[in-house]
């Protein structure tokens, strides 16, 4: 099983629907991140969390919200999905306690299509 698991892996939805992407990790890491990937734009940071009580907006947080339900779980919500939120979404973790290079460990990605 993957250390960082994202569900669903693929989702097609309609404009205006509420969508939740879930991320859980078994790595025991304290930091969790949500990134969005669009073709030609690289990865852009949506939200990040350094522990359960610490949640911060990234570069492109408009239209998104998050919940850190536990150290191991970090969910991303689109309250009212719109077509330009069609993208590949990555959850990632990093560990502040080990040899801390800041390396990110990624989930397999969630491909979201908004029609």
Partner 1 sequence: AQKITQTQPGMFVQEKEAVTLDCTYDTSDPSYGLFWYKQPSSGEMIFLIYQGSYDQQNATEGRYSLNFQKARKSANLVISASQLGDSAMYFCAMREGIGSGGSNYKLTFGKGTLLTVNP
Judged by the rule CB under 8 A, the positions of this chain that interact with partner 1 are: 31, 33, 35, 40-45, 48, 50, 56, 58, 88, 90, 92, 94, 96, 100-106, 108-109, 111
84: helix, strand or coil: helix
Report the residue number, 58 or 63, with the smaller CB distance to partner 1.
Answer: 58
- List b or e across 4-24, with b for residues whose CB sees 16 or more CB atoms inside 10 angstroms: bbbeeeebebeeeeebebbbb
Closest contact distance (angstroms) between CB of 16 and partner 1 is 27
Which residues have CB under 8 Å from 38's CB, separation 6+? 44, 87, 88
Closest contact distance (angstroms) between CB of 9 and partner 1 is 9
Token output for 4 = 């960082």
Closest contact distance (angstroms) between CB of 109 and partner 1 is 5
Token output for 52 = 């359960």
Closest by CA position to 46, among listed 31, 37, 57, 55: 57
Report the residue number, 9 or 17, with the smaller CB distance to partner 1.
Answer: 9
Report the residue number, 42 or 53, with the smaller CB distance to partner 1.
Answer: 42
Report the residue number, 51 or 79, with the smaller CB distance to partner 1.
Answer: 51
């Amino acid at each position: 099983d993957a250390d960082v698991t994202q569900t669903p892996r693929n989702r097609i939805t309609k404009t205006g629907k509420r969508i939740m992407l879930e991320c859980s990790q078994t790595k025991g890491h304290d930091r969790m991140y949500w990134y969005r990937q669009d073709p030609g734009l690289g990865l852009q940071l949506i939200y990040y969390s350094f522990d359960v009580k610490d949640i911060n907006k990234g570069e492109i947080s408009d239209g998104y919200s998050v919940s850190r339900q536990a150290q191991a779980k970090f969910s991303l919500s689109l309250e009212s999905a719109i077509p330009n939120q069609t993208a590949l979404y990555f959850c990632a973790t990093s560990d502040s306690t080990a040899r801390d290079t800041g390396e990110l460990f990624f989930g397999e990605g969630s491909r979201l299509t908004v029609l």
